[in-house]
A and B are shown apart, each in its own frame.
Chain A
Amino acid sequence: DAKTTQPTSMDCAEGRAANLPCNHSTISGNEYVYWYRQIHSQGPQYIIHGLKNNETNEMASLIITEDRKSSTLILPHATLRDTAVYYCIGAGGTSYGKLTFGQGTILTVHP
C-alpha cells in the first residue's frame, strides 16, 4: 500500500472551505486514493475516493494531481460537525481491500 503523508493538524473557520492535502508519491497505478474521517472514537466514515480523475459527492471534492503523487480533499463549507481526524489512504492493487491508516490530519473547525 502507498505511504501517505498528511499535516498533523489544520484549522478552518466555520462556513469556509477546508482544503486537506495529502502526499502519496509511491502510489501505484492501480491503487485508489481514499479519504475517511473519524469523529471522536466512532468508526471511520467514508468520504470519497478516486483513481485519477477528480471526484465530487455530497460530502466533498477530491482533486488528484495529474502525476497522482498528491491529492486534496475539499470540504466546501465546513461546519463544526466536520471537526474530526481525516485519513488519506492509498489502497487497492493486489490487496483484498485492506486499509492502512496513518495518523491523519486533525481538522478543527472554529466558530
Chain B
Amino acid sequence: EPEVTQTPSHQVTQMGQEVILRCVPISNHLYFYWYRQILGQKVEFLVSFYNNEISEKSEIFDDQFSVERPDGSNFTLKIRSTKLEDSAMYFCASTPGQFQPQHFGDGTRLSIL
C-alpha cells in the first residue's frame, strides 16, 4: 500500500538556523498538510496546500514558516530561523480529496538546541 514518507526521521539543529523538512506524499493525492505535535501535547494543524498554494493556515504558521512543492513529488516545510519552542514532531499528510481520509507519514522529530 502506498504511504507518505518523511525525511529525515530526526533532525537536530542549532537555534536560529534554517531547517527544511521533507515529505513525499502519495502520488495521486492533491491535498497536502503539515501538522506538529509538541511532546506530550496534542497534534496541531499548521497548514494545508492545494493547487500549488496555501489554502489554510493556523496561527502557528507565521512568517518563519513556508511550504513548497518544488516538483511533482516532494512537499517541504521550511522554518527560517528556528526557536527552542519549534522542537516537536512534524507530520506530513496527504489525501486525494479534501473530505477523504488523510494519510500521515511517521513524522520528523525536530530538536532545537
Which A residues form the contact surface with B (CB < 8 A)? Answer: 32, 34, 38, 41-46, 49, 87, 91-92, 95-104
Q: Given B35, B42, B89, B102, which contacts A41 in the complex, CB threshold below 8 Å?
A: B89
Known: A43-B104, A96-B56. 17 other contacts (CB 8 A): A34-B101, A41-B37, A42-B107, A43-B107, A46-B103, A49-B101, A87-B43, A91-B99, A92-B98, A96-B55, A96-B98, A97-B33, A97-B98, A98-B48, A99-B43, A99-B45, A102-B42
Q: How far is the CA of A103 from the CA of B40 in the complex (A)?
A: 10
The 8 Å CB contact of A44, one of B48, B55, B91, B95, is: B91
Q: Which of B35, B44, B101, B105 contacts A46 (CB 8 A)?
A: B101
- Say if the beta carbon of B106 comes within 8 Å of chain A: yes
Q: B34 to chain A: closest CB distance in Å?
A: 11
28 contacts between A and B (CB under 8 A): A32-B99, A38-B43, A41-B107, A42-B107, A43-B4, A43-B93, A43-B107, A44-B91, A44-B93, A44-B102, A45-B104, A46-B102, A92-B99, A96-B31, A96-B48, A96-B50, A97-B31, A97-B33, A97-B100, A98-B33, A98-B56, A99-B35, A99-B102, A101-B35, A101-B43, A101-B44, A101-B45, A102-B42
Interface of B is mostly: strand
User: Number of contacting residues on B, CB 8 A?
Assistant: 28
- Chain B residues whose C-beta falls within 8 Å of the C-beta of A99 in the assembled complex: 33, 35, 43, 45, 102
A38 to B37, CA, bound (A): 12
Residue of A nearest to B55 (CB): A96
How many angstroms from the CA of A38 to the CA of B48 in the assembled complex? Answer: 20
